[in-house]
Amino acid sequence: MSELSRFGVSLEKGLLVKFDQLIKKKNCANRSEAFRDLIRQELIKEEWQGGKEIAGAVILIYDHHKRELVNKLTDIQHNHQTIIISTQHIHLDHNNCLEIIAVKGTPKEAKELADTLTSVKGVKHGTLSMSSTGKAID
């Protein structure tokens, strides 16, 4: 960890009360940790908006019995193999599968992949978790 710097923050009392309630709800260790999380969240947003290299995950829920669905999802992933770094498939129950596709690339590529996979007929839910390669949030 890099050297710590301290600074004071002035807040309206009402806002501080709400911040403390949020910290409690999120089980954050303390105000400093909560504040660091908020800053990192904003920096990640900035990374995604700035078009820099990002990391994230596409999460899909689907019924593998649907005709051709698995083949289509596999074809799409092969066409985007330059940004996919790993895929994990979990058989949730007799019908449902959970797929976690880890990606590293530009935000545009990640969003395109997530949209393409999510829009395949038979995918029950798809979401893109936007995270960071970690370099910009130290």
Give least dist CB 117 to Ni ion, A. 15
Alpha-carbon span 51 to 27, nearest angstrom: 32
Q: x/- string (CB under 5 A) for Ni ion, residues 92-131?
A: -----x----------------------------------
| Candidate residues 26, 31, 36, 91; the one interacting with Ni ion per rule CB under 5 A | 91
C-alpha distance from residue 41 to each of 46, 64, 70, 134, 137 (Å): 9, 35, 34, 11, 9
Give least dist CB 92 to Ni ion, A. 7
Q: Which of residues 7-66 bind Ni ion (CB under 5 A)?
A: 64
